[in-house]
A and B are shown apart, each in its own frame.
Chain A
Amino acid sequence: MTESEMTETRIDVRKTYKLYIGGDFPRSESGRTFIVNDSSGKFLANMSQASRKDARDAVQKARGAFGGWSGRTAYNRAQILYRVAEVMEGRRDQFEAELRQAEGLTAAKAKTYVSAAIDRWVWYAGWSDKIAQVTGGANPVAGPYFNHSAPEPSGVIAIVAPKGPLLGLVSVLAPVIATGNTCVVVASEAHPVPAITLAEVMATSDLPGGVVNLLTGSAAEIAPWLASHMDVNGIDLTGITDPDRARDLEASAADNLKRVRRPRPEDLLATPDLTRMTTFLETKTVWHPMGI
């Protein structure tokens, strides 16, 4: 076979898209898949359709990873988030192709969104070792005490990612883990392919397994189990567009007083504010007497 014959006749090796749980890529324990088409309606992939059990497994992995991740130095977390940006940059052609395929974006737009997604990792990487100085500090109490407040991560955060399959996902994910939380993310149901590609990037960027767990499937099916899960400390409802569903999830989240971020309109390309980090941070205040 000549070189040109080989290129013409070769059959592509397609990828099986699976979930990302605890650093591994398992199929849904339910054995279910759902069909994802490209923007022109042509078959793209059979995606794993995550179940309640998958969501619970993911929470367990996120909880298991929390102590280690939150216990790392902020500098170390910053380097890992920056590493995610580096690895993404190397695979940007793939991300751009996937965005064009999934959403039908123009080449220019796909480039803009991939660039913005990479830059957002860099932005939040930098925040990792600065947020404590911006939101914490010394408190001048009226007495002979050392008194100091500092932020700490809330714990395991459930995230319903918004539609923007890459920049939207990075915008909700990076701030949560930059501060030391671990998370379970329900990827955009309509465009899950770039999410799994991002999972492959995270899996090869020194991010410990379990810090980010990514589920594909139906948010309507999975989100209620995450909202009512008693070992989840917070929930970001950004990807929930139906107000009634958002209300029900928020009410369910009250069972163990989860920190809730309600869905609200936002411009993903604009510089974010701090609230995506601070919503899932606790303030710890430590007192000690001064004396000799």
Chain B
Amino acid sequence: MAKKVVSTGSTTAKTGSTTVQAGFDYAPAPESRAIVDIKSSYGLFINGEFVDSTGGNSFKTISPSTEEVLAEIAEANDADVDAAVRAARRAYTRVWSKMSGAERGKYLYRIARIIQERAREFAVLESIDNGKPIKESRDVDVPTVAAHFFYYAGWADKLEFSGFGPDPKPLGVAGQIIPWNFPLLMLAWKIAPALACGNTVVLKPAETTPLTALLFAEVCQQADLPPGVVNIVTGAGPTGQAIVSHPDVDKVAFTGSTDVGRAIAKAIAGTEKKVTLELGGKAANIVFEDSPVDQAVEGIVNGIFFNQGHVCCAGSRLLVQESVADEVLERLKRRMATLRVGDPLDKNTDIGAINSAEQLAKIRELSEIGELEGAERWSPPCELPAHGFWFPPTIFTGVTAAHRIAREEIFGPVLSVITFRTPAEAVEKANNTPFGLSAGIWTEKGSRILWMASRLRAGVVWANTFNRFDPTSPFGGYKESGYGREGGRHGLEAYLR
């Protein structure tokens, strides 16, 4: 930890040969919490109602930025999951599969509109429960959620034109398990296409971020969505396992770690269950010598520090051409010194809290391993709050392909910097990973972009941009980043037969 510099306020810090200028002082500009009403406890949302768990167990969800307990959350056991699947099956058989696509679509349009109406509430609640900066939950997560429902609403009565056969049919009950990094957005990616295609769902939000999913349950009530079409069961791994192994679940959709994805793929082997998996990544963000450096630096920062680096498609490996490596790194360090780490509800905050103590421990461990393996660690002067879970934006230089920080997903604000000389070497290094979710290319040369893009084994390639998401744009991985696509016309395939 020797290289970690912690200073107070806006000073100039000398680090190696690089002089970094810390940012201006800003007065705090916190978003009001008054718009959200967090209850002291939440039940499970089954068949259109909130019910207690039959086992009576519960867990706490906390604010990662303050460690305050936000609410007690019911923990769904096997019997609860069974009740949710039964409710979903009933709703599927009696109501949802019989309803015309046009009518299903209207429910989804309603949901999209209600989310827009309650956008501020969702954004604040997401930032409180997840720790992400309000500017991201407000400007990225929640608007994209509404857009996603709006997009798939329009597909519900056009499925026969979607290219999946002349008479596509829903699968039945979808079991969906989502992660904590984009809690509401991942819910939208799962629920919107499932419902549009005529399936009903049992969804489990992550145990550290259940609140926006439970608020979404209220949206379903406000929209008069028929009971049982959406069921939300809260809990940890065992609850997820109960969903995956339930014999009446026709489809499993999972976003999360590659290890859990592997376990799910094994668990459903030999069944008729359809599965889509959106798993880990270790994306290369490749900067060529002719790139627009200022834009590239913004892209690097966005690629790895957006959402605290809790992004499966994060640009966690910077591949920079040797001839411009010093210049890019110097500008990157200068830019990193202006990043504001702190209160997620402050509108000036760039980097919020790490989602959990467990995740913080993992980021710390891998960062320490990075140092032990000989990479050089650097963070800007950065004052971290006394309570909550925090990690400063960090880069490692002198990283080789064999280093664990170059191979394993850290899922935090930690960038590994690797250099290359030729485009072919960049491709070789970028593809040297079992993952294949995303990649970035920064160059002014169009032919090189297309040459690179065709050789990178990754599901999403951002050229002269990074971390863009849109409901119409298919997202998903190659190789061990999973299979299936979410978003766009392609996203329908996972929910049709």
Contacts and interface: CB of A to CB of B under 8 A. Distances in A.
A285 B479 contact: no
A98 interface: no
B468 A254 contact: no
B462 A287 contact: yes
Given A149-B490, A284-B459, A287-B463, A254 B266 contact: yes
Residue in A134, A139, A283 with the greatest tally of chain B CB atoms within 10 Å:
A283
Interface stretch (B21-29, B244-252, B481-489): B481-489
B461 interface: yes
B163 A135 contact: yes
A283 B266 contact: no
Interface in A141-184: 141-143, 145, 147, 149, 154
Most interface-central of B262, B464, B474, B482 (chain A CB within 10 A): B474
A109 B478 CA distance: 42
A142 B453 CA distance: 22
Given A143-B470, A283-B474, A284-B459, A257 B483 contact: yes
Task: Please tell me the size bucket of the interface on A.
Answer: 35 or more
Contacts of B459: 282-285
Most buried by B among A142, A149, A250, A286: A286
Contacts of B56: none
B462 A256 contact: no
Contact of B479 (A147, A233, A247, A273): A233
Interface residues of B, number: 41
B270 interface: yes
Contact of B262 (A140, A141, A248, A254): A254
B270 A288 contact: no
B480 A256 contact: yes
A279 to B, nearest CB: 9
Contacts of B147: 142
A255 interface: yes
Given A139-B488, A254-B262, A285-B475, A145 B468 contact: yes
Contacts of A244: 270
A282 B468 CA distance: 19
A233 B277 CA distance: 15
Given A145-B465, A284-B458, A257 B262 contact: yes
Contacts of B468: 141, 143, 145, 287
Contacts of B165: 273
B473 interface: yes
Nearest to B470: A141
A233 B483 CA distance: 11
B496 to A, nearest CB: 12
Contact of A141 (B265, B436, B472): B472
B488 A288 contact: no
Given A254-B265, A287-B465, A289-B464, A246 B277 contact: no
Nearest to B461: A286
B449 A288 contact: yes
A284 B265 CA distance: 22
Contacts of B462: 286-287
A139 B472 CA distance: 6
Contacts of B232: none
Contacts of A288: 449, 463-465
A77 interface: no
Interface of A: 134-135, 137, 139-143, 145, 147, 149, 154, 233, 243-244, 246-248, 250-251, 253-257, 259, 273, 278, 282-289
11 contacts: A139-B488, A142-B472, A149-B488, A256-B479, A278-B493, A282-B459, A282-B478, A285-B473, A285-B475, A286-B461, A286-B462
Closest 10 CB pairs of A and B: A247-B270, A254-B265, A250-B269, A141-B470, A251-B269, A139-B472, A288-B463, A254-B266, A251-B266, A139-B473
